[in-house]
Structure 1
Amino acid sequence: MAALSHHDVLKTMEPLTCSDGVQNFTCLLSKTDITPVLGELKKIGAAPEVSPAARRWVLVLDFNFTEGSWRWRNVTVVRGWELKWNNETTYVFQAQIKKSLGEMVKITRSFQKPSSCGVS
């Protein structure tokens, strides 16, 4: 999952705790459709069964650093998929994500590069 995050496919490296209001489950938020996720999983030999997950929204458990507490955040789902392999089930939801983890890492690295203007 870390590799998927680095390539701007997923928002987070670790699975998220999500809810549909009835039950909690593991999910991942993606900026794109399922194709890049399946491509990366194929590279490590994982071939999950994929089926559509018909959800319009999902609640994601987030830590609010300002308040120092956990909170449920409502995320609008563009498309969703259920992935099953090795007795594990997870959901991947395509959502409108402002910045993925990989994008944030690239931005941070660009600010850390030494200046090329000759000033020392």
Structure 2
Amino acid sequence: MSKNNYYISVGEPWDFNSPDGENIIRGIILKIISATCLVFRTNYHLDFEGVKGDKLILSPRHVENNFYDLDKGSSLITVNGGLLFKDYDDNLSEEELRNNSKFAIIGSIQKD
């Protein structure tokens, strides 16, 4: 996967604000773990109820969505996102990533 810039349009929490503006999180995809798990590094640290970090673990909200489609030109994928609360290691399994993240956002990811 190329290190293109992507952004997440945040739907929940509805009052989300970041340095990029209202309801926007910009960053890059670090790794697509599987069709249903993606590691997204934000351009800044986020803080959700005391959990801080710059890695979001994303999963599609709809069964028909597949993260491999992002590299094939899919316009956007609706996602659930959890903020990773441990240090990221490229060798972490999908299960470890999910178990070490706190649900934080609902939104959609697309190329910037």
TM-score of the two chains, using structure 1 as the length reference: 0.26
Point out the structure with max Rg over C-alpha. Answer: 1
Structure (1/2) with the larger helix percentage? 1
Structure (1/2) with the larger strand percentage? 2
